[in-house]
């Protein structure tokens, strides 16, 4: 899920302004962290079924997947869900305890976040044909 962001919004968000991807309808390509993290999770799910989705996994694709794994690790550590989780035996044949939790969590109202992002997404999302050259 991508949307257009203005240069002012990107600056307020602390983004580096150099080498931004320009959107064909104006503005700059942006997303929110939650969408990127969902994308990462989806890619890792594909990796679990790599015979179907990555039958000829290249080193570049493997590095790409490792990057997604690192994104999820950093996000989990950043937000540090403090909900209590206990472990219980799931039956006589269990070889290890399973997790259980009745802790309350404070969640965002995802529908509000998603609606906001979708309201900013162009109907036909495409990057502009002319992009500024990459600079170091």
Question: How high is the pLDDT of residue 129?
Answer: 86
The pLDDT of residue 91: 86
**pLDDT surpasses 90 at 25:** no
Q: Average pLDDT, whole number, for the chain?
A: 92
* Helix and strand numbers, DSSP H then E, in the chain: 5, 4
Per-residue pLDDT band for 30 (boundaries 50, 70, 90) equals very high
d(CA 29, CA 41): 21
User: How sure is the predictor about 12, in pLDDT bands with cuts at 50, 70 and 90?
Assistant: very high
Spatial distance between the Cα atoms of 71 and 73, rounded to a whole number of angstroms: 6
Q: Identify the DSSP state of 99.
A: E
Going by C-alpha positions, the residue among 32, 1, 133, 8 that lies closest to residue 17 is 8
pTM (2 d.p.): 0.80
The CA-atom distances, in angstroms, between 76 and each of 81, 95, 123 are 7, 27, 32
CA distance 103 to 106: 10
| 3 state DSSP class of 108 | coil
Measured distance CA(4)–CA(27) in Å, rounded: 5
Mean predicted confidence (pLDDT) in 15-25: 91
48-84 pLDDT, tens digit per residue, is 999 999 999 999 999 999 999 999 999 999 999 889 9
pLDDT tens sequence across 94-136: 999 999 999 988 889 999 999 999 999 888 888 888 888 777 7
Q: Is a pLDDT exceeding 80 seen at residue 93?
A: yes
């Amino acid at each position: 899920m991508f949307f257009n962001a203005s240069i002012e919004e990107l600056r307020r968000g602390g983004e580096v302004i150099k080498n931004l991807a320009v959107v064909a309808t104006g503005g700059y390509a942006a997303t929110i962290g939650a969408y990127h993290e969902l994308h990462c999770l989806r890619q890792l799910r594909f990796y679990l079924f790599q015979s179907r989705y990555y039958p000829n996994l290249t080193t570049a694709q493997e590095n790409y997947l490792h990057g997604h794994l690192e994104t999820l690790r950093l996000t989990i550590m950043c937000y540090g869900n403090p909900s209590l989780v206990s472990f219980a035996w799931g039956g006589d044949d269990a070889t290890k305890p399973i997790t259980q939790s009745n802790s309350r969590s404070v969640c965002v109202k995802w529908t509000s976040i998603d609606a906001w992002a979708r309201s900013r997404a162009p109907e036909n999302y495409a990057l502009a044909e002319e992009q500024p050259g990459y600079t170091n």
